[in-house]
Amino acid sequence: MVIAIDGPAASGKGTLAKRLADHYGLPHLDTGLLYRAVAMAMLDAGLSLEDEAAAARAAASLIADKLADPRLRERAMGEAASRISAVPAVRAALLALQQRFAGSAVGAVLDGRDIGTVVCPEARVKLFITASASERARRRHRELALRGEETTLSAILADIEARDARDASRATAPLKAAADAVILDTTELDADEAFEAAKRVVDGAQVH
């Protein structure tokens, strides 16, 4: 069984995806880390994020063990990833990697921006996790504060709104819910409530 989870930044999809993977005993891939790793490789090499050819090369040569680097979780890396993810050649280079992961014999849980629409359009379960921009900014601010990163709520909200606009308007694989996805708005839900709601969707799909 493949569970495809999409949604904008800080909607809670990553936390939810990990919990669902643990609950159902499935491998999990946070596909956003792939784009962050490409951006990090470029920045470490002193390359401009505007260099699309370099971004494509970095994506084609991505090594999976880079996904454990704690720097990938930094706010700046998320912003950089959003910029290079608009490059069609980067998305094409990472698509095969994601689809190989989804092809696991037992199934998989993948979360990102285009899992249900592009990466795994035949997934049995598709969830689109969302929340208000202000609530997502509040969550991200709390997360960064716990990691010791200093920033302001207003700055994070501006980042989130800019990323939403960029993700939704890019020509290749824009952020949108698949036509057959279940929309789960977590604005008023805590992590446990969101998990229970998502689990009901998955369990229902297994019955049919």
Q: Residues annotated in the binding site, as ranges? A: 7-15
Q: CA 114 from chain center: how many Å?
A: 8
Extract the annotated binding site for ATP.
7-15
Look at residues 159, 173, 198, 149 and name the one whose alpha carbon lies nearest to residue 14. Answer: 198
DSSP symbols for 50-115: T-HHHHHHHHHT--GGGGG-GGGGSHHHHHHHHHHTT-HHHHHHHHHHHHHHHT-TT-EEEEESSI
